[in-house]
Amino acid sequence: MIPVLHALLLDFDGLLADYDHRIHLRHLADAAGCTPAQVDAALRGDGLELAHARGELDGDALLHALNIRLGSQLHARHWFAARTAASKLRRDALAVLKQVRPGVRIAVLTNNGPLSVAAIAALLPGFVLLDSATLGVRKPDPQAYLAATARLGGEPARTLFIDHLFRNVRGARNAGLHADTAFHAQSLQRVLRRYRMF
């Protein structure tokens, strides 16, 4: 029997928003005066983006390293504009969340660093955002979910996590959370109904 759940953790990219990394790269490349492939090589090939998402590089350090590699003058505002342009909110999924019963703590758990989190926060005003850089651990590591539930002041056994990637769902289950996959507003609604979140 499913207990009464008090907290809801949600993925952002792929559940609450569509994210196009190519658009992100193109906007950064336009601001840097180079090609998207060059930006991608610097971010991924040199591990800068992953280090940023892990909290090993803050925003200034990431941009400094990126500018050295590209010979550019990128600033946080360029990243913000690029990430915002690449992210399209799923309004129907957000509308489903408005049906969640009062008293349930809702938060977004994302594998992103501070530069992208700033853009996500602007897209989702009023939402609690928990990110891998701040927590110091990324999904699907079970410790990420335990850290997130602790930040919410909840218990893993009374928390539901929803993500579009099953590997992240499996990590949450290994941490003792209730967890399931959803890919769009309809499947999100089905999962929330099954766990009596309405």
Q: Give the mean pLDDT of 154-176.
A: 97
Please check the confidence at residue 14 and state whether its pLDDT lies above 80.
yes
- The pLDDT, as a whole number, for residue 2 is 81
Q: Give the mean pLDDT of 89-96.
A: 98
**Band (45; pLDDT cuts 50, 70, 90):** confident
Please check the confidence at residue 3 and state whether its pLDDT lies above 90.
no
- The pLDDT, as a whole number, for residue 19 is 98
Tokens of 87: 């992210």
**Burial letters 57-82, b for 16+ CB under 10 A, else e:** bebeebbebbeebbebebeeebbbbb
Please check the confidence at residue 192 and state whether its pLDDT lies above 90.
yes
- The pLDDT, as a whole number, for residue 168 is 98
Record the pTM. 0.94
Q: Give the mean pLDDT of 138-156.
A: 96
Distances (CA, A) of 12 to 7, 110, 182: 16, 6, 11
Please check the confidence at residue 104 and state whether its pLDDT lies above 80.
yes
Identify residue 14 by its one-letter amino acid code: G
Going along the chain from its start, the domains and CATH numbers come out as 7-16+90-194 (3.40.50.1000), 20-86 (1.10.150)
Residue 129's region, left for phi above 0, alpha for psi from -120 to 50, else beta, is beta
Check: CB of residue 150 under 8 Å from CB of residue 109. Answer: no
Query: What is the full DSSP assignment across 49-101?
Result: HHHHHTTSS-HHHHHHHHHHHHT----HHHHHHHHHHHEEE-HHHHHHHTTSP
Mean pLDDT of the chain: 97
Helix or strand or coil: residue 163? strand
The string of pLDDT tens digits covering residues 49-67 is: 999 999 999 999 999 999 9
Q: Give the mean pLDDT of 173-193.
A: 98
- The pLDDT, as a whole number, for residue 90 is 98
Q: Give the mean pLDDT of 103-108.
A: 96
- The pLDDT, as a whole number, for residue 121 is 98
Please check the confidence at residue 144 and state whether its pLDDT lies above 80.
yes
